[in-house]
């Protein structure tokens, strides 16, 4: 047998009358006339199939059926109020879940200040953080498994995503301390022509990989890539072992390894771009709040643009 629906307006009228036990007082509290209140109670009693109130001149009491319904009615109205409040909070971006992808190296610059500022302004928002390189972030944005990406060198042919530059960084040479060039304060790129390189594979960051190899090409040589590593910390660790040299964003200097030297490069005009990425026309208010927060932060050790 199908259960009849109980309109919330009737439940509200029922709860108020159960609290007042007086039709006139309940009607005044509800802001309606007494006859409409009586009609609502009658319709509710018809749905229940039993009287909810015993009525006598100047005296109203709950019946056993009314007492049984009162607890459920109050809970239903409370759940509705809580649900509406939660929906308003999510709709305004004051609560909810925001999924963020970030390149590991940005933990050295952008990420700490961004998360601190956002959490201070929106303490009830749950942040779901995923460490990912650039290409997986682009795929995750398309698949809607993350809402925001923080990445290096975004693709130039993307039509479904928007990008905003957060900062730009110079490149540095990453050398084993035993390398002859480590004794210099700066390194001309052409001086690295005979050294093997340790680089990120192109599959995880095509634009950045091409930018680094393009710098070498402009300096007159094609780099011999002896080893790949997905994360910059691993690149530096492999350089420390003497497997090769590398070119990296300047913030990588904050990775402290005893056997690694970081040196400025010449020419020094090239810079790598860090950007925030999101889906175009995304209506999630948390995305808008995060983008507003990005403009407030001052990353460590890098130049804004």
Among residues 91, 114, 145, the one where a domain terminates is 91
Rounded Cα distance between 159 and 45, Å, is: 59
User: Do 225 and 260 belong together in one domain?
Assistant: yes
Q: What average pLDDT does the chain have?
A: 88
103: left (phi over 0), alpha (psi -120 to 50) or beta: beta
If you write DSSP's letter for every residue of 113-153 in order, what string do you get?
HHHHHHHHH-TTEEEEEEE--HHHHHHHHHHTS-SEEEEES
- Total structural domains within the chain: 3
Query: pLDDT at position 3, please?
Result: 44
Query: By three-state DSSP, how is residue 90 classified?
Result: helix
User: Do 153 and 233 belong together in one domain?
Assistant: no
Mean pLDDT of 271-287: 91
User: Do 217 and 238 belong together in one domain?
Assistant: yes
User: Do 177 and 241 belong together in one domain?
Assistant: yes
**Predicted model pTM:** 0.67
Query: pLDDT at position 9, please?
Result: 87
- Name the pLDDT band for 172 (thresholds 50, 70, 90): very high
User: Do 286 and 162 belong together in one domain?
Assistant: yes
Q: Which residues span the domain enclosing 194? A: 168-271
Among residues 70, 91, 112, the one where a domain terminates is 91
Q: Mind listing the pLDDT tens digit for each residue in 122-150?
A: 898 889 999 999 999 999 999 999 999 99
User: Do 248 and 284 belong together in one domain?
Assistant: no
CATH of the domain at 79: 1.10.10.10
User: Do 103 and 14 belong together in one domain?
Assistant: no
Rounded Cα distance between 171 and 247, Å, is: 6
Quick one: 120 exposed, middle or buried, by C-beta within 10 A (0-12, 13-18, 19+)?
A: exposed
Rounded Cα distance between 220 and 172, Å, is: 18
Rounded Cα distance between 251 and 214, Å, is: 20
CATH of the domain at 282: 3.40.190.10
- Name the pLDDT band for 305 (thresholds 50, 70, 90): very low
Tell me, yes or no, whether 1 lies in a domain: no
Q: Mind listing the pLDDT tens digit for each residue in 192-247?
A: 999 999 999 999 889 999 999 999 999 999 999 999 999 899 999 999 999 999 99
Tokens for 181, please give them: 């060039």
Tell me, yes or no, whether 39 lies in a domain: yes
CATH of the domain at 232: 3.40.190.290
94 secondary structure, DSSP code: S
């Amino acid at each position: 047998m199908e259960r009849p629906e109980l309109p919330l307006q009737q439940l509200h009228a029922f709860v108020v009358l159960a609290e007042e036990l007086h039709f006139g007082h309940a009607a005044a509290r509800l802001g309606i006339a007494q006859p409409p209140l009586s009609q609502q109670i009658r319709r509710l009693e018809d749905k229940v199939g039993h009287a909810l109130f015993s009525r006598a001149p100047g005296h109203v009491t709950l019946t056993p059926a009314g007492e049984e319904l009162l607890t459920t009615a109050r809970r239903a109205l409370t759940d509705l109020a809580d649900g509406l409040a939660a929906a308003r909070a999510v709709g305004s971006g004051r609560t909810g879940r925001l999924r963020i992808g970030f390149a590991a190296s940005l933990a050295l610059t952008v990420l700490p200040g961004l998360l601190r500022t956002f959490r201070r302004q929106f303490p009830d928002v749950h942040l779901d953080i995923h460490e990912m390189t650039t290409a997986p972030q682009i795929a995750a944005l398309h698949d809607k498994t993350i809402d925001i990406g923080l990445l290096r060198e975004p693709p130039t042919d993307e039509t479904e995503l928007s990008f905003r530059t957060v900062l730009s960084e110079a490149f540095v040479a990453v050398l084993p301390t035993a390398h002859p060039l480590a004794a210099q304060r700066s390194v001309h790129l052409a001086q690295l022509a005979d050294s093997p390189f340790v680089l990120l594979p192109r599959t995880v960051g095509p634009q950045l990989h091409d930018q680094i190899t393009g710098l070498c090409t402009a300096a007159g040589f094609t780099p011999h890539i002896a080893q790949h590593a997905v994360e910059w910390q691993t690149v530096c660790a492999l350089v420390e072992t003497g497997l090769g040299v590398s070119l990296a964003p300047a913030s990588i200097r904050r990775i402290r390894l005893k056997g690694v030297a970081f040196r400025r490069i010449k020419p020094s005009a090239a810079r790598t771009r860090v950007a925030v990425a999101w889906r175009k026309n995304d209506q999630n208010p948390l995305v808008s709040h995060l983008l507003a927060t990005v403009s407030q932060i001052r990353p460590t050790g890098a130049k804004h643009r």
